[in-house]
Structure 1
């Protein structure tokens, strides 16, 4: 069996291989990692001479590698300098020296191109040694959790072990932890926060509780410090990462995959990317996609992974730029109430476009030219843009094809009705695949993508627009009306009493475009919600606010507008299940009471088909608020922090919460979240809120009334009802301040 987790100590590597009883270590002393440097021959010779005296460098050697997908596509290999070092930890420092010292002193900027620099240690080791770190048996796990307040206070008595809390003080908790570790012998520790690793071992030492070791051997190592970063205009926070001997750490506070697909999804991505379990757990979706690309590029194409993206955007005339810079196609939703609606969507549209049309950085305008065509290599042109795509098998389709095939197979197996344990694993694997397939398209336009190219991004969009328009034409010819469409999904309703069977139309479109168009669900009714500003504009007066209900339900011809709308809707499937998109109920920041109330508003709307009845439901909820019968913890608001406390200029609720966290000694960095209850919105400073962990007993009813009315407005706005009309229709006579319905 291959090892599943690794430790790097000096120049040695310790491999941990799973056994039936646990895991066994093997020390490897002969591993020497390398980075590669490309550039002009004279510059490489000079660099070779200068590195000969560097104590970090074990050896240098000239080798021939493809330094880009274009090189591999054209069958070219270039001379590069392999620089071998004794320790993995010295790779990045040497790369910075080459770029910032050697190049700067004697050569022009950009003379050297560096490769295989920023690979994580475990992934690098598996790549170099051609190891598959996929666990060879089911993993035993142990979950450890500690709330933020106890973590900040260094109090481990509140530790939860596998969802069970141990009472009786810190010593008893630590002894119980020791017994659980010995009895369970876990292969992976799932921790609520990685800071638990050093805290537990330190407290055991201080309190004299012997034998408490989270690893299979004593000790722990900090792999990386915490840091704050910005991506796509959003601030994120990466906590410190730790390692213990012989066990993988899954930090629930720093693992997107854990929350989306659990251990089964992480394990699947280990198999497909070659990143060991712990590195796969904390890796972002883009990171995992890049790892898969790097491994395939090295194994199949002989291409090194560039440290920095080097693919310049080609010169484009204004006409082509105008056609290219359009994004996906969207059919503006017909805001309002619609009955008998079907949702259809293209299965993995963008990944399948990449595969079906061979879109890849090296195939788009690859310059194969007449010589290639003379050798029987065909090409085709991208619609609207005219980019020529070579038919030689592309790299990006090869990256995605196994994932697409796996997801299709999983869907088929789930349709067969497997037992619940198998179904849960399959759903987890499918979820992990979904996120990588979602990211693959956008990553082509990401400026730091190692194997990205903006022309690929543009070509994929062009094909998607053509496919959407083709589907629209065929559906309308068959007497189906599109009430909304976005990228790969369409919502349609019959235009006549007996349109062509939808299944027949779907089959024809699928065959014509080469990508499966699938029936995703049927709805008894769907409401598309307008933008909030357009609600107020409609509410100023006129027919658009009428929205009257008849015996058959709200009249969709009234209160319906195409005023700018996002994909924000709710509806009832024919199965009886309600669907929500974009509403407060789906927003992470929405308090539980507000989300649950909005569900009640939708259910009332479905049952009564009367906006007045929904307002009655709102009135009862407002009464609960004002009577103080709502549990304050159900009113907790969760917000992401975008700046440090001192950088905020406005005194917002987030600032008040940050002040209270600071007072309790709990760090909150940009990218992390705060959770609070508004107790007095008219107060100043930190007194406006109480943290959820402070177990507040009161709340500001007026503030939460505002949120409730907004949630009700989202439900009734498709009928043209705004906050003013909702206020007029409240029947319980509750006095609500004017600010509840404005701003």
Structure 2
């Protein structure tokens, strides 16, 4: 076949068992291409010259091109390194593993990078980016970028999507029927006989040839089930590849136990399990594409991994383009410090405790992406600390385009009508970028981050405290009362201010003084700051609810925001807030709100509430055998184990409260502990309404409901 030039999109890159790199491209004429490409990869080793000479002899004759180079380490400066280049990228992991086992004393660099990140940095073609490519029909001969990852309105490939769902949750009940949707058609197939189902599924894959397969429980049940019972079935577009299965795992991060189910990754098309992709429910497919576009991680990787993996991948791209070595294992430890210096510098963000109670006409001012903006503006990076007039560091260079794009998307959203069809996609994209910016600060001080340094982390919080105090002084100089400050936001009021226009001069002054963008989140018609549950005299930071002038509700720190609140209780709280929002002062609707609570409690007492709305969801904080007391989560876990279900720490368990304890299976109406749910409703109602009226008045509404 003669050489042809096409225009299209780079969808993914991976290696085949032979070790060669394969590109999946989608051309503008709708053709899907799976083309091998020559792409040598290099990793480095550093250490004593004597050991490097031994490593040279170890690698010689193994198909590795060797050389001696001088490269820059971000922390150590220039280093003499052994450079090892392999023509087949798929051979690098095994070569590195053998070398590291033989010479563990050496420092290794660029040895464990995601292939897609290395490819994007080397070719300058972003994943999901429009490009021009040349092929002879057998191999990819050339690739040129036509747009960058930072386009505000990137061109989108015409994706074909197939959705697959089962009729039951596999962990509780064996599915009997599979529902498949594609091309606006819906198919229902019984799972048994299995051979007939597999034939039908294979026929649909051949007919529609989807680029994306969206499933529920595809990772943890469907593809493992098919692999075990129908081993000849191959859902990949690349027939040389098999489904890649990754095991489940529990991990501890950010003060909580997280669970990641088993994964099933495809080649030549994507598989996304809605129930096993951390952010997919929030950002959807549009946000997943945006995250893959800017991070360089494949779509299947981007939706399953944490945003921290995404920000790390972006830092790797910057390092590769700048010629900075990326350590396989971070060598730097935190410097020894006295307790006095630790207390002085490691203080976190500024919090100004709120004034408990009801407040009218309050404005919320937010610093836009405050911590990332500080890193960019003040050039905070591990290699720039304690240096004046240093060139832009690796971290600011990584974050600057991300910050600019996210703020531009937010600005675009503010200019659009809420009914505009573009709003949902823009919101998903900016949310995906927001999560990357949220975690970049934590990874700056994370001990295992490739380019983390705790002193940089502390510098950011120190600057943020000063900026927030500066904003407070500006507000007070203009006659405003500070009701609350929380890390990067202020709640202010003044007697003569009512509309957003009245607060804009303050926002503009703070932005001019601090150099960090400030946005007016909105003006509350009324706002209520809540006290601690156990002591009404003690305020609690970031625990409030209110209604904006346009009627939009906002709430933080209440049961409605918790994942372990059952739908019935959550809906009760939402109905209470909606009732209060009808008045200019929530205290005017206090009696009506308690009347609504009365109805909800009576509905429970009469057993009229839907059983589905009473289902509880609790994340398991430890392995079941580690529980010493029979908590509700422990009881649910033991029931599932008795039914043969594997239960791991970090998993979310679903159950109902019954007269006998808890039940993981939907109970009959006479088995439900209706009084317990009534108490949960009253507790959630009191969380909102107690602060609005004195206790003695509340009792005439509250106590009769307990009878």
Structure-2-length-normalised TM-score: 0.85
Q: Of the candidates 639, 648, 654, which is equivalent to residue 675 of structure 1? A: 654
SS in 1 for 2:64: strand
What's the CA shift for 1:151? 6.3
The answer as to whether partners of 1:220 and 1:242 remain within 8 angstroms in 2 is no
The answer as to whether partners of 1:66 and 1:78 remain within 8 angstroms in 2 is yes
Q: Of the candidates 157, 162, 170, which is equivalent to residue 177 of structure 2? A: 157
What's the CA shift for 1:177? 3.5
1:690 aligns with 2:663: yes
SS in 1 for 2:275: helix
Distance in 2, matches of 1:16 and 1:508, equals: 51
Alpha-carbon spacing, 1:245–1:729, altered in 2? closer, same or farther (3 Å)? closer
The answer as to whether partners of 2:71 and 2:325 remain within 8 angstroms in 1 is yes
Q: Of the candidates 310, 318, 327, which is equivalent to residue 296 of structure 1? A: 318
Q: Of the candidates 279, 284, 289, which is equivalent to residue 262 of structure 1? A: 284
The correspondence of residues 523-602 of structure 1 with structure 2, limited to 5 A, is: 523-535=524-536, 561=537, 563-602=538-577
What's the CA shift for 1:709? 1.6
Distance in 1, matches of 2:21 and 2:393, equals: 36
Correspondence for 2:254 = 232
1:23 aligns with 2:32: yes
Alpha-carbon spacing, 1:197–1:730, altered in 2? closer, same or farther (3 Å)? closer
Alpha-carbon spacing, 1:70–1:625, altered in 2? closer, same or farther (3 Å)? same
Correspondence for 1:544 = none
Alpha-carbon spacing, 1:497–1:144, altered in 2? closer, same or farther (3 Å)? closer
Distance in 2, matches of 1:92 and 1:642, equals: 34
The answer as to whether partners of 1:197 and 1:214 remain within 8 angstroms in 2 is no
Cα deviation, 1:278-317, whole Å, max 9, x if unaligned, reads 2222221000000000011111x20121122233334556
SS in 2 for 1:622: helix
Cα deviation, 1:391-426, whole Å, max 9, x if unaligned, reads 422221111111111122222322342784432221
The correspondence of residues 71-150 of structure 1 with structure 2, limited to 5 A, is: 71=77, 77-84=78-85, 91-92=92-93, 95=96, 98-99=99-100, 101-103=102-104, 111-127=105-121, 131-134=125-128, 136=130, 137-146=157-166, 149-150=169-170
SS in 2 for 1:256: coil
Correspondence for 1:729 = 701
Count of residue pairs brought into register by the alignment: 661
Correspondence for 1:713 = 686
Distance in 2, matches of 1:588 and 1:361, equals: 37
The answer as to whether partners of 1:195 and 1:240 remain within 8 angstroms in 2 is yes
Q: Of the candidates 568, 573, 578, which is equivalent to residue 603 of structure 1? A: 578
Alpha-carbon spacing, 1:410–1:233, altered in 2? closer, same or farther (3 Å)? closer
Alpha-carbon spacing, 1:146–1:122, altered in 2? closer, same or farther (3 Å)? farther
Q: RMSD across aligned C-alpha pairs, in angstroms?
A: 3.1
What's the CA shift for 1:493? 1.2
What's the CA shift for 1:203? 7.9
Q: Of the candidates 609, 618, 624, which is equivalent to residue 645 of structure 1? A: 624
1:38 aligns with 2:29: no
Distance in 1, matches of 2:544 and 2:172, equals: 41
Alpha-carbon spacing, 1:254–1:646, altered in 2? closer, same or farther (3 Å)? same
What's the CA shift for 1:505? 2.1
Cα deviation, 1:103-133, whole Å, max 9, x if unaligned, reads 3xxxxxxx42222233234434544565532
Distance in 1, matches of 2:575 and 2:609, equals: 15
Distance in 2, matches of 1:605 and 1:126, equals: 52
What's the CA shift for 1:93? 5.6
The answer as to whether partners of 1:174 and 1:204 remain within 8 angstroms in 2 is no
Distance in 2, matches of 1:322 and 1:203, equals: 56
The answer as to whether partners of 2:39 and 2:89 remain within 8 angstroms in 1 is no
Alpha-carbon spacing, 1:238–1:699, altered in 2? closer, same or farther (3 Å)? same
SS in 2 for 1:134: coil
Alpha-carbon spacing, 1:202–1:311, altered in 2? closer, same or farther (3 Å)? closer
Alpha-carbon spacing, 1:170–1:734, altered in 2? closer, same or farther (3 Å)? same
SS in 1 for 2:554: strand
What's the CA shift for 1:240? 2.4
What's the CA shift for 1:706? 2.0
The answer as to whether partners of 2:307 and 2:436 remain within 8 angstroms in 1 is yes
Correspondence for 1:481 = 481
Distance in 1, matches of 2:439 and 2:408, equals: 20
Correspondence for 1:425 = 425
The answer as to whether partners of 2:116 and 2:296 remain within 8 angstroms in 1 is no
Distance in 2, matches of 1:242 and 1:169, equals: 20
Structure 2: runs of 5 or more not aligned = 1-7, 131-156
SS in 1 for 2:648: coil
SS in 1 for 2:25: strand
What's the CA shift for 1:702? 1.7
SS in 1 for 2:320: helix
Correspondence for 1:440 = 440
SS in 1 for 2:564: coil
Alpha-carbon spacing, 1:69–1:261, altered in 2? closer, same or farther (3 Å)? farther
Alpha-carbon spacing, 1:705–1:154, altered in 2? closer, same or farther (3 Å)? closer
What's the CA shift for 1:719? 3.4
SS in 2 for 1:281: helix
What's the CA shift for 1:532? 1.4
Correspondence for 1:394 = 393
The answer as to whether partners of 1:235 and 1:670 remain within 8 angstroms in 2 is yes
Correspondence for 2:329 = 308
Distance in 1, matches of 2:667 and 2:175, equals: 16
Correspondence for 2:211 = 187
Correspondence for 1:327 = 348
Q: Which piece of structure 1 moves more, 154-163 or 711-720?
A: 154-163
Distance in 2, matches of 1:569 and 1:59, equals: 62
Distance in 1, matches of 2:647 and 2:180, equals: 22
Correspondence for 1:551 = none
The correspondence of residues 168-183 of structure 1 with structure 2, limited to 5 A, is: 168=190, 170=192, 174=198, 177-183=201-207
Alpha-carbon spacing, 1:312–1:692, altered in 2? closer, same or farther (3 Å)? same
Distance in 1, matches of 2:505 and 2:577, equals: 33
What's the CA shift for 1:498? 9.9
What's the CA shift for 1:698? 4.3
Alpha-carbon spacing, 1:173–1:576, altered in 2? closer, same or farther (3 Å)? farther
What's the CA shift for 1:463? 1.2
What's the CA shift for 1:13? 2.9
Correspondence for 2:405 = 406
Structure 1: runs of 5 or more not aligned = 72-76, 104-110, 367-378, 380-389, 536-560, 737-743
Correspondence for 2:152 = none
Correspondence for 1:654 = 633
